[in-house]
Structure 1
Amino acid sequence: MSHDLADVDKSTGIELTEVLAAFTRLRRENDLLVAAIARDHGLHAPDFRAVAFVRTTPDLTPRGLAEYLALSLSATTAVIDRLVASGYVLRTPNPEDGRSVRLEVTQEGADAVEDALEIYTAAFNISVPADRREDVAATFIDIADALAEVAVARTASARA
């Protein structure tokens, strides 16, 4: 499947390459911000992302975190060990089966995520007027869904 990146939207005059460049810039600025927030809290960016996911995902298991981080279970265990040692995450017994554990964020971890949320809230308040937020959220969801769809199709065609 080939796409013409120079395809111009006739209604706006914007080429797809401009949209992709804007998306790339957004990703880069986000990566830099996450790294800075993580550093402020004595963490590396991947560890901070893990803390944020633990904070927003009830009943999370190490396997669930591994899937989110796209890491092996052993690599994720190393991340969890660091986060537990640094006081950002707790391992708690799974009440449904006494052998496994669930992950919970500590108050320190919650505070770090709250710090990030304040920064993102400020940025979105500056850049997205209230009357456009629903459209922007829908666009983000559409892009995420399309990326997931393309990734699944790519994986399927690679296996064929």
Structure 2
Amino acid sequence: MIGITNQASEFPRYHEYMFHKESIPLEPEMYWYDPKNAGVSSAMDVLRAVRRFRVADAAMRRRAQNDMRINETDLMAIRHLIACERQNQVASPKHLSEFLNISSAATAKLLSRLTASGHIRREVNPDDGRAQRLYATQASHIQIRRALSGTHKQLMKVALDLTADQQAAVVHFLEAMSAIAVMPHSEATTVEQSAES
């Protein structure tokens, strides 16, 4: 069986099954696995379940976007600002640009758009009088709760129903998957080769 680990270097290279891109060579051995091999069939069931969740999560976010009349990047920005507030962190335009992985020009347009629509507010940093601090407005908090709180409560119930060991296993698995998914392709290939050796 495949052990769950939070070390990406020890994790199998199954992520290509889910995150396949045209840039990945199309040789079958690169991302298809023989379900007759020990553990592969059940591992593929796990990845299929993850993929179904990703599809369902995307649908949930689209519903929220439609309810709030904003696009996907706007929703990501608002949710990130809310998360920062909950962690007592202050977001700046540069911080948001890095999180969204968009240019400073695109960030400026996004901030202007969300400020005009009443979703965020900008304050001058009192420490230097120039830098901006970004916050989600109360209206955004209400809209996010209205759009997502019911689903989040149900998701929390599912997580609470797990035993402590199951929760730890899920966390380790998803952290390893996340680490591999954001890894540059050249590094991911190195990890795959070391995992197979």
Report the TM-score, using the length of structure 2 for normalisation: 0.65
Name stretches of at least 5 consecutive residues in structure 2 with no aligned partner. 1-12, 14-29, 190-197
Q: Higher mean Cα deviation, 147-156 or 18-27? A: 147-156
1:99 aligns with 2:158: no
Of 17, 32, 45, the match for 2:59: 32
Q: Aligned residue pairs: how many?
A: 155
Match of 1:50 in 2: 77
8 Å contact 1:54–1:60 — kept in the other structure?
yes
Relative to structure 1, the CA distance from residue 138 to residue 118 in structure 2 (aligned partners, 3 Å threshold; closer, same or farther) is: farther
Shift, 1:113, TM fit: 2.3
Letter in 1 for 2:65: A
Deviation at 1:141, TM superposition (A): 5.5
Residue 132 of structure 1: aligned partner:
162
Q: Percent identity?
A: 24
Structure 1 counterpart of 2:50, from 17, 23, 36: 23
Q: How far off its partner does 1:156 sit?
A: 4.7
Query: What TM-score do you get using the length of structure 1 for normalisation?
Result: 0.78
- AA aligned to 1:111 is I
Contact 1:59/1:103 (CA < 8 Å) preserved in 2?
yes
**Structure 1 residue ranges without an equivalent (≥5):** none
Runs of 4+ deviating beyond 3 Å: 1-10, 133-138, 149-158
> Partners of 2:127 and 2:169 in 1: how far apart?
36
Per-residue CA deviation, residues 114-145 of structure 1 (Å, 9 max, x unaligned), is: 2244123333156x163417534762454235
Higher RCO (C-alpha under 8 Å, 6+ residues apart): 2
Q: Are 2:64 and 2:148, in contact at CA under 8 Å, matched by a contact in 1?
A: no
- Offset, 1:14: 4.3
Aligned-partner residue type, residue 87 of structure 1: G
Residues 1:73 and 2:104 aligned together: yes
CA distance in 2, matches of 1:89, 1:137: 35
Structure number, greater radius of gyration: 2
Q: Contact 1:6/1:16 (CA < 8 Å) preserved in 2?
A: no
Q: 1:23 to 1:62 in 2, by over 3 A?
A: same
1:111, distance to aligned residue in structure 2 (A): 0.9
